[in-house]
Structure formats: structure tokens, C-alpha cells
């Protein structure tokens, strides 16, 4: 037999109530049993840190006082924060660092003030070489030099007219080059001495060597004056 409309409507209503009860089952539980909502994370933008926001460390007592090893605690005098009334503003031109270009500063002038020329150091003059003392070949074992150039003496007219003749002995000083630099008469013949010394001064000898080094010597030489007959 066909169902009645009232039974169908009742069935639909019951099913709707059951579905609504199932859907709202969580709402009938205590609030303490409800699930916790999910937390939402949010990223804050970076914050700019300023110097004035940073707290300064407190000043330690050791910075305010100084304690001596054997004395009482003495406070350190700090600089005044407020300038004294006696200090006025500067009125002169500002001071420039350094000098003008080209000026001599302390580095350029270590021995004088700025702009003063430095005196040059005194020149060191080497002492003149000391003359060597002539030696005699016979006493020092040196071989006598050889005569390279001979100049005959000029016979004086007065000695020739008076027929004066003989041998004049002379001590001749010879330098390192073999030049006769001095002549001294050892045995004199008055009319012939000057002519003998003049002739000997023009003689030339080979250099005298001592251990391979030229040295001055004193050597005895003779000048013979003899008339031709």
C-alpha cells in the first residue's frame, strides 16, 4: 500500500535532525575540550637601533676617585662643564697647520729654525804629507842609483889662470824621481866650489828603491877639475 505523505515528511525531518546533530556534535562538548585554534606567525619588519636607545654602563667608582698606595682616597678633579666667564671668543685669524709651500720646516732644517740655512759641515783638510828623511845607500844596504845624465863643470877663468885644480867632494840629496835637490860641499876648493855645485845640481839619477818603493837618498859625489897640458 502506498506510504502516506505524513510518514514521508516525518522521515525526512528525522533524517535532517540526525544530520544536524552529527554536524553540531562538537558544539555540545565543554569549551575546555574544544580544539585550540592554529597560531598565525607574523614577521615584524627590522627595527633601527639608535645610539641614544642603547643604555650606557654605569660609571664605576674607580673612574671617579684615585686611591694612592699609602694615602687616603682623593677625588679626581673633572673638567668644568660650563666655561668660565673669563674665557672669551677668539678674535684672531684661524691658525693654519703647516707652513707655506716651499718653507723649510723642522724636518728640512734639523739644526736651525724655520727658514734658516743650515751651515755646511767644515771641510776636513788632509794634513800635507810629511817629507821622507833621506837615507844613505851605504848605511842602509840600498844599492846606489845609476847616473843617467852628466853635465861637465865649467872651469872658472880665475882658477884656470892661476892653475888651480883638484877634486871637490859634495853631499848630494836625490829625491824619489832621481833629481838632485840639494848639494853641500864636504871638501872645498874655494875657486872651484861654485862650479862643482852648479854642475852636480843638473845631474840626473835613476830612482832609488827600498822594498820596491822609491825613497830619497844622500850620496857623496866628486867633481874633478884638471887642466890640460
Using one digit for the tens of pLDDT, what is the confidence trace for 45-98? Answer: 677 777 777 777 766 555 554 444 455 556 555 555 555 565 555 555 555 555
The answer to whether the CB of 229 falls within 8 A of the CB of 196 is no
Using one digit for the tens of pLDDT, what is the confidence trace for 26-37? Answer: 666 666 666 666
Q: Which residues of the chain have pLDDT under 50?
A: 1, 65-69, 105-106
The answer to whether the CB of 195 falls within 8 A of the CB of 128 is no
* Architecture (CATH level 2) of domain 146-225: 2-Layer Sandwich (3.30)
Centre a 10 Å sphere on the Cβ of residue 225 and count the other Cβ atoms it contains: 19
Q: How far apart are CA 216 and CA 39, in angstroms?
A: 122
Q: Which three cell numbers stand for residue 56?
A: 650606557
Amino acid at each position: 500500500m502506498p506510504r502516506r505523505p505524513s510518514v514521508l515528511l516525518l522521515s525526512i525531518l528525522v533524517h535532517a535532525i540526525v544530520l544536524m546533530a552529527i554536524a553540531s556534535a562538537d558544539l555540545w562538548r565543554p569549551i575546555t575540550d574544544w580544539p585550540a585554534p592554529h597560531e598565525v606567525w607574523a614577521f615584524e619588519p627590522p627595527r633601527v637601533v639608535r645610539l641614544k636607545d642603547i643604555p650606557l654602563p654605569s660609571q664605576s667608582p674607580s673612574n671617579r676617585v684615585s686611591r694612592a698606595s699609602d694615602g687616603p682616597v682623593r677625588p679626581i678633579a673633572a673638567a668644568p662643564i660650563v666655561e668660565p666667564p673669563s674665557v672669551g671668543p677668539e678674535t684672531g685669524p684661524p691658525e693654519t697647520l703647516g707652513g707655506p709651500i716651499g718653507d723649510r720646516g723642522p724636518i728640512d732644517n734639523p739644526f736651525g729654525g724655520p727658514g734658516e740655512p743650515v751651515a755646511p759641515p767644515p771641510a776636513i783638510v788632509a794634513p800635507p804629507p810629511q817629507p821622507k828623511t833621506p837615507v844613505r845607500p851605504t848605511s842602509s844596504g840600498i844599492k846606489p842609483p845609476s847616473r843617467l845624465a852628466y853635465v861637465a863643470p865649467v872651469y872658472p877663468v880665475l882658477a884656470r889662470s892661476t892653475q888651480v885644480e883638484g877634486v871637490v867632494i859634495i853631499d848630494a840629496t836625490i829625491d824619489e824621481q832621481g833629481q838632485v835637490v840639494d848639494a853641500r860641499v864636504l871638501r872645498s876648493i874655494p875657486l872651484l866650489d861654485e862650479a862643482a855645485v852648479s854642475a852636480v845640481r843638473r845631474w840626473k839619477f835613476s830612482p832609488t828603491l827600498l822594498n820596491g818603493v822609491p825613497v830619497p837618498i844622500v850620496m857623496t859625489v866628486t867633481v874633478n877639475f884638471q887642466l890640460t897640458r
